[in-house]
Structure 1
Amino acid sequence: MQQIKLSIDGKEVTGTAGQTILEIALASGIDIPTLCYHPKISKTGACRLCLVRVNNGMLKTSCTEPAMEGMSIITEDEEIRGIRKGILELLLSEGDHNCLYCDANGACELQTLVNRYGIEPVSSDFPRNVRVIDYESSEGLKRNENRCVLCGRCVKACGEIQMSNVWQFTDRGSHAHLTSGMFQTIGDSSCVKCGTCVQLCPTGALTFQTVLGRGQNWELEKESSICIYCGVGCKIDFCKNKAGQLVKALGHDDGPNNGHLCVKGRFGFDFVQSPKRLSKPLIRKNGQLEEASWDEALDLVASRFKEIKEKSGPDALAALSSAKCTNEDNYLMQKFMRAAIGTNNVDHCARL
Structure 2
Amino acid sequence: MRILVTGTAGFIGAALAQRLLDRGDEVLGIDNHNDYYDPSLKEARLARFVDHPGYAHRRADLADASAVNDAFASFKPQRVVNLAAQAGVRYSLTNPQAYLQSNLVGFGNILEGCRHHAVEHLVYASSSSVYGANRKMPFAVEDAVDHPVSLYAASKKANELMAHSYSHLYGLPTTGLRFFTVYGPWGRPDMSPMLFADRISRGEPIDVFNHGNHSRDFTYIDDIVEGVIRTLDHPAEPDPGYDAEAPNPGTSNAPYRVYNIGNDQPVQLMRFIELLEQNLGRSVEKRLLPMQPGDVPDTWADVSALRRDVGYAPGTSIEDGVARFVDWYREYFNR
TM-score, normalised by the number of residues in structure 1: 0.19
The structure carrying a bigger helix percent of its residues is: 2
TM-score, normalised by the number of residues in structure 2: 0.20
Q: Which has the larger radius of gyration?
A: 1
